[in-house]
Amino acid sequence: MKVNTIENFSILSDYYEFTMGNGFLDNGYADTIAYFDLYYRNIPDDGGFAIAAGLEPLIEYIQNLHFGEEEISFLREKGIFSEEFLGLLKNFKFSCDVWAVPEGTVVFPNEPLVIVRGPIIEAAIIETMALLIINHQSLIATKANRIVRAAEGRTVMEFGARRAHGVSAATLGARSAYIGGAHGTSNTLTDMKYGVPSLGTMAHSWVQLFPTEYDAFAAYANTYPDNCILLVDTYDTLRSGVPNAIKVFDDIVTKRGFRPKGIRLDSGDIAYLSKQARKMLDDAGYSDCQISASNSLDEFTIREMIAQGAQVDSFGVGERLITAKSNPVFGGVYKLVAIERDGVFTPKIKISSNVEKITTPGFKNVFRIYDKQTGKANADLITTFDEKITESEPLEIFHPTYTWKRKTFHDFTVRSLLVPIFEKGNLVYDIPTIEESRKLCEKEVDSLWEEVKRFDNPHEYIVDLSLTLWQMKEDLLQRS
What's the pLDDT score for residue 457? 96
Enumerate long-range contacts of 410-416, CB under 8 Å, 24 or more apart. Answer: 411/371, 411/372, 411/373, 412/369, 412/370, 412/371, 412/372, 412/378, 413/369, 413/370, 413/372, 414/367, 414/368, 414/369, 414/370, 414/381, 414/389, 415/367, 415/368, 415/370, 416/365, 416/366, 416/367
How far CA 173 is from CA of 53, 102, 185, 311, 313, in Å, comes to 10, 17, 10, 28, 23
pLDDT value at 293 more than 60: yes
What's the pLDDT score for residue 355? 87
Distance, CA of 249 to CA of 379 (rounded, Å): 54
Which among 456, 195, 200 has a CA at the least distance from the CA of 314?
200
What average pLDDT does the structure give for the chain?
A: 96
pLDDT band at 295 (very low <50, low <70, confident <90, very high): confident
Domains of the chain: 15-140+328-479 (3.20.140.10), 144-322 (3.20.20.70)
In the predicted model, what is the mean pLDDT of residues 391-404?
94
Helix (H) or strand (E) holding 384: strand 377-384
pLDDT value at 1 more than 50: no
Query: What percentage of the chain exceeds 90 in pLDDT?
Result: 96
Distance, CA of 445 to CA of 479 (rounded, Å): 41
What's the pLDDT score for residue 25? 97
Q: What is the pTM of this model?
A: 0.95
pLDDT value at 4 more than 60: no
pLDDT band at 480 (very low <50, low <70, confident <90, very high): confident
pLDDT band at 428 (very low <50, low <70, confident <90, very high): very high
Contact 75, 90 (CB under 8 A): no
Strand partners, 231: 264
Per-residue model confidence as pLDDT tens digits over 25-38:
999 999 999 999 99
